[in-house]
Amino acid sequence: MIPTNQISIHTFCQYHGIESGLIFTFQELGLVQIVEEEAGFFLEEEALSRVEQLVRLYKDLDLSPEGVEVVMGLLGKIEQLQEENRSLIRKLGKWEK
């Protein structure tokens, strides 16, 4: 029986028009976690938006899986720097008062 908080990789790949090997490649690169059950391989519901982002980068920008990995690393770094910038702005605001 398939838990309701998971979607099969087969179903996901059919919907997005991709080969399931791509999802397994993303897993090998550490970009996504796959759950293995008796009924097959699944993605957690919480991971769907991230996996869809990976697929969009792969298809829309015509990137290799390794290229997607680089882009995701850069996006993570940008988010980290933006948070650091917000923190510094808050600290600076305290000194300006």
User: pTM of this prediction?
Assistant: 0.84
Mark 11-37 as b/e (b = at least 16 C-beta within 10 Å).
ebbeeeeeebebbebbeeeebbebeee
Please write the tens of the pLDDT for every residue from 64-94: 999 999 999 999 999 999 999 999 999 998 8
Please write the tens of the pLDDT for every residue from 23-74: 999 999 999 999 999 989 999 999 999 999 999 999 999 999 999 999 999 9
Tally of domains in the chain: 1
Any domain includes 32 = yes
Any domain includes 69 = yes
Q: For position 34, which CATH number holds?
A: 1.10.1660.10
Domain of residue 55 covers 6-96
Checking if the pLDDT of 3 tops 80, the result is no
Any domain includes 1 = no
